[in-house]
Chain A
Amino acid sequence: MKITKLFTNNRKLVLFSVIFYVVVDVLHLTGVLNDYWIQITNVALINIILAVSLNLINGFAGQFSIGHMGFAAVGAYTAGTLTTIIWKLGVANSITKYLLFAVALILAGVAAAIVGYLIGLPTLRLRGDYLAIVTLAFGEIIRVIINATGYVGGPRGLLGIPKLSNFTIIFFVTLLSVIIMRNIVFSTIGRALKSIREDEVASELVGVDITRYKVLAFTIGSFFAGIAGALLCHLLQIAHPTQFGFIGSINVLVMVYIGGAGSISGSIVAAVGLTFLSEFLRLGIDNLNKIAPFPVGPEWRMVVYAVLLVAVMLYRTAGIMGGREFGILVPEEEGKNATGSQA
């Protein structure tokens, strides 16, 4: 097997990714993009993983889950605890620290996947609102457990996590995660998930083991949420229970539905768009406050943000992308089939 065919046979996707990476790096080195904007870019990339992985559960498999940050918390605390302990031993040098981080990332994913599997197995018999309530409760349970566990810092948060995330690592982990999830979506597994979303009974009666696939979607989604959580806490050097609470989960959910449930491209657009929009609004309100004859408080940021969300949902009910994908994300063998399909 040729290595070029592994993961993707779409040269344009590889080319685009490399160009994007080089451009951002060059802009950073030349000082056009300062550390602040690189940080925002990193957060946006992590949000891509979170949104795409939640989309796998909500948009593709049609299982309404709203506790996604709970899985991210499991990943963040697993990886964060591990690296912090080993870091303190002082055994990691400039090369082994990346090896350590790779192991920590995988463990974070696995830990979150195990929790996802255990949660999914009993709860995925529930449908719609009921499943949503259970996943919501689960997310809160995770947060409360972390809050009550002194060993990982409790309500103070897990401090002193080594800064192992950087743009390069986050970019390539995000790229790989998105490609893997895309590959799953454009395969018989993805079609099985979509058929469950469309009609559970019919899906079962054409041979899809729906329980298995629902749990699978949940497990894969949790795996990548765990990785995203681990990337985030090694970027911010802190894991804090409030990061992974209900508001965080809702933010990811908003990205999925604004972008378009059942569209990987949509989740990417929305994750990047909303992350930057939030920052632009912060700057915009600050500047407005300087020139406006009356005080404009930072709370207006959330008002404008919310109004924009409402507007998108009013004028594009299926999200920005609907169910469509960018051509670059569609595997060649799918061709016309994917461009024709839209939710």
Chain B
Amino acid sequence: MFMPLEGVRVIDLTHYTAGPYATRILGDYGADIIKIERPGGGDPARRIGPFYHDEPDLEKSGLFLFLNTNKRSVTLDFKTEKGKQIIKELVKGADILIESFPPDVMPNAGLGYEELSQINPQLVVTSISNFGKTGPYKDWVGLDLTLYAMGGNMWGSGDPELEPLKTAGRMASFHVGYAAALASALGLTNAELRGQGENIDVSYFEVTLQSIDGRMQKLLGYQYNNQVPMRVSPGASLGLGSGIYPCLDGMFMTTAGAAQFPNMARMVGAEDILTQPGWDTVAARSRPEAAEEWEATLIPWMLERTTKEVQRACMEFGVLGGPVNTIENLMNDEDFDARGFWQTIDHPATGPLIYPGFNSRIHFEDGERPARRRAPLLGEHTAEILKEIGIEGEEVSLLRSEGVI
């Protein structure tokens, strides 16, 4: 089994969600991730819940544990002169450096792209920031909510009579991290092919602007017909047979629309309607009233069935639909189990827990499946990594007493 990023070393100066997600992905593909954490507190994500048994503890944050598998942790204050020298020493043997500080922090610390590329001309430096390194908003602050509001498809999300809604949790941050992983892989490809390093500027705002989550399309669509489309309820952009409906044991989301309606009619045993006036052609079914008329047939059918029964019917008849699940339902879903998606990872502070599995599955010839190493304890690998760059013994004690590590 050869992991695609085996032998690739990443210096990870990121924190919170987006950057650590990027390096989590690179670690999954086999890269050696050296996570630089602040002495004392470490990555602030360690202080953010959810905590194991709700006990706040630097080693018990579910967010941190999830985001930082397959990494080694070094505590290091890179704003000290010695800390900076250690970063520079690490950079010599690195392929990628990822950071997520505001745009001026790294250059002000003497660790900007110019300095780093002099040490290692093939180095790929990936910077993740709210608005990118240039432009009038470059120093603005933000978090998932405010950045998604500006860049993402928030204005068009929700009910027309209510306020716009963001995506759940830290979703936009994860998307930014994923884009940063892709950008880093592209930079690495060029570095290896052409011997030219790269200076990558990932803008959270722009990643959400170019997301296929409805935003990118609408930005071109606005150019096409000057439409600023109002919010619509779920699936309702296609109207007929589209929405969230009550079932015996929960709710179910379907999408049909005038074009794909026939399969849904067959699914509920109402295929006769397809020959009736007002229902026999796509144009006829595009009547605005058709959606409400159809619900008189669809909703009673749904109410007699469980979400699982409706799901099976959708699969059989080729109707687009899915159960409106809780996370608990998801984690008990037959498919993810059968595919072996979930992973059990042991950790000294929490014992074994179930984690989301790999984003992709490489079909290795020998059928092997890679494993994940648990998230590191704060500074767990400090001595080990310093030794790799020739720092050991008393020198380590000195760095420790000076607060550098």
Q: Do A and B bind each other?
A: no
